[in-house]
């Protein structure tokens, strides 16, 4: 699959991306019909030495400590795998990995606007990082179209993925810093001509990440000129998300990643919310990646459906407080926001996203709400892409 974007027409590219996230949906819903050939290809690990012996994380956030030109980039572009510095929740410096893709040719006057992409859930283990896959471009929704519009596109792996670091699954403040530091890193790679102008774009978990990045921006990275943010089916109400899905495979998978991360980051005891069987299975489930280890994940997670939690995470402490702390919407966003939601999404429910939009509007955020009939959680980012591209283009103009 390396380099499969080259020569693809737009319809084929969109179809390939939709297939990738149809596989996400198949994992979360327990469907066994995902194409095995595609899954096997996606599961192939990156075999280079780029991630070996990572350098010290000590240093300024956004500093690039390693960069490698990566083959197979979309036609007319150059790509790098990058290691860069970021910060975690308590302010300690951490090392992050990611991808940077830039169009070839001369940059426009004033440099290229950066789009920092927040990816949806692929797992929480180091090996599950999108940049570590054999075809990292596969996971960056809208990449060819973003490049065609002249953007420099950067995509962070969240802290703890790609290279060692604390687990950051659905830890909003860490993910948000990762998204902003990836944009800083894009400016520090020679040959990108990246400006300080910034747009954010994310799907699902990545929607949560870029919303937190927007809330943190003025305090954390004021040198960047953030112009707008677009999200598709964002994880914008974690309590609602877990409550709606905790009784199926998606709830077990997402809950396992989230409870393990919060236990590590905040010191919470998973035994206060999970059954003994779920506690015992947690390390195994957290070693699996979504999509690429479908069968193994199902084998462990399915028996836990209906016997995963001992209480309601929304009312059981400290989990209720932790979920609120990691739910975006604490303050008015200072830039325009586009929210896209599929009306056939059974993972991030339309009513949850509509409530988030209403909340943001009450805070005074300028929100464009784009509902897409027939779109699911797997397909919403691609189905909404024309609206997203138009919104980002207008936002970039200020």
pLDDT at 381: 96
Whether residue 18 has pLDDT greater than 90: no
pLDDT recorded at residue 67: 95
Q: Which fold has domain 10-238+324-396?
A: Rossmann fold (3.40.50)
pLDDT category at 46 given cuts 50, 70, 90 is low
Q: Could you tell me which residue, 278 or 39, shows the higher pLDDT? A: 278
Can you tell me whether residue 240 is helix, strand or coil? Answer: helix
pLDDT band at 359 (very low <50, low <70, confident <90, very high): very high
Give the percent of the chain with pLDDT over 90.
72
Residues 6+ apart with CB under 8 A from 351: none
- 234 and 338 in contact (C-beta within 8 Å)? no
Residues in the chain: 398
User: Does position 37 have pLDDT exceeding 60, yes or no?
Assistant: no
Give residue 352's Cα distance to chain centre: 19
Per-domain residue ranges of the chain: 10-238+324-396, 257-323
Cβ distance 210 to 202 under 8 Å?
A: yes
Structure confidence at residue 21 (pLDDT): 45
Joined together, the tokens standing for residue 267 give 């010191």
Average pLDDT rounded to a whole number, residues 307-326: 93
Mean pLDDT rounded to a whole number for the chain: 88
For residue 35, name the pLDDT band (cuts at 50, 70, 90).
very low
Q: What is the pLDDT of residue 56?
A: 83
pLDDT digits 0-9 by tens, 61-97: 999 999 999 999 999 999 999 999 999 988 899 999 9
Tell the burial category of 241 from Cβ atoms under 10 Å away from its Cβ (0-12, 13-18, 19+).
buried
Among the ranges given (117-131, 291-305, 326-340), the one the predictor scored with the smallest mean pLDDT? 291-305
Q: How confident is the model at residue 186 (pLDDT cuts 50, 70, 90)?
A: very high
Q: Indicate if the pLDDT at residue 17 is higher than 90.
A: no
pLDDT at 44: 55
Kindly report, residue by residue over 246-262, the tens digit of the pLDDT.
Answer: 778 888 888 999 999 99
In the block, residue with structure tokens 């998973």: 270
């Amino acid at each position: 699959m390396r380099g499969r974007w080259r020569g693809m027409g737009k319809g084929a590219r969109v179809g390939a991306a939709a297939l990738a996230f149809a596989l996400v949906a198949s994992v979360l819903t327990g469907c066994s019909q995902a194409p095995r050939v595609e899954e096997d290809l996606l599961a192939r690990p990156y075999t280079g030495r780029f991630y070996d012996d990572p350098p010290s994380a000590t240093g300024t956030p956004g500093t690039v400590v390693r960069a490698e030109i990566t083959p197979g980039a979309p036609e007319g572009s150059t790509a790098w795998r990058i290691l860069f510095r970021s910060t975690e929740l308590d302010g300690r410096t951490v090392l992050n990995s990611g991808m940077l893709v830039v169009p070839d040719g001369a940059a426009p006057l004033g440099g290229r606007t950066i789009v920092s992409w927040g990816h949806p859930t692929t797992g929480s283990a180091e090996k599950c990082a999108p940049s570590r896959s054999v075809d990292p471009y596969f996971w960056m929704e809208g990449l060819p179209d973003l490049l065609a519009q002249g953007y420099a596109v950067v995509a962070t792996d969240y802290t703890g993925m790609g290279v060692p670091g604390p687990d950051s699954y659905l830890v909003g403040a860490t993910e948000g810093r990762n998204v902003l530091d990836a944009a800083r890193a894009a400016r520090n790679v020679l040959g990108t001509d990246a400006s300080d102008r910034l747009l954010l774009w994310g799907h699902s978990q990545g929607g949560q990440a870029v919303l937190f990045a927007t809330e943190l921006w003025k305090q954390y990275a004021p040198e960047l000129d953030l112009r707008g943010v677009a999200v598709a089916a964002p994880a914008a109400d974690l309590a609602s998300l877990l409550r709606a899905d905790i009784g199926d495979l998606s709830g077990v998978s997402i809950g396992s990643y989230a409870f393990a991360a919060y236990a590590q980051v905040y010191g919470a005891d998973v035994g206060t919310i999970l059954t003994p069987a779920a506690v015992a299975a947690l390390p195994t489930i957290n070693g699996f990646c979504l999509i690429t280890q479908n069968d193994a994940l199902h084998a462990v997670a399915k028996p836990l459906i209906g016997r995963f939690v001992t209480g309601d995470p929304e009312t059981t402490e400290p989990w209720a407080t932790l979920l609120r702390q990691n739910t975006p919407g604490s303050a008015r966003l200072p830039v325009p926001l586009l929210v896209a939601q599929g009306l056939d999404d059974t993972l991030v429910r339309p009513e949850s996203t509509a409530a988030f939009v209403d909340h943001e509007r009450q805070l005074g955020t300028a929100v464009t709400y784009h509902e897409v009939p027939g779109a699911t959680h797997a397909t919403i980012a691609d189905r909404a892409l024309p609206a997203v591209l138009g919104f980002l283009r207008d936002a970039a103009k200020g």
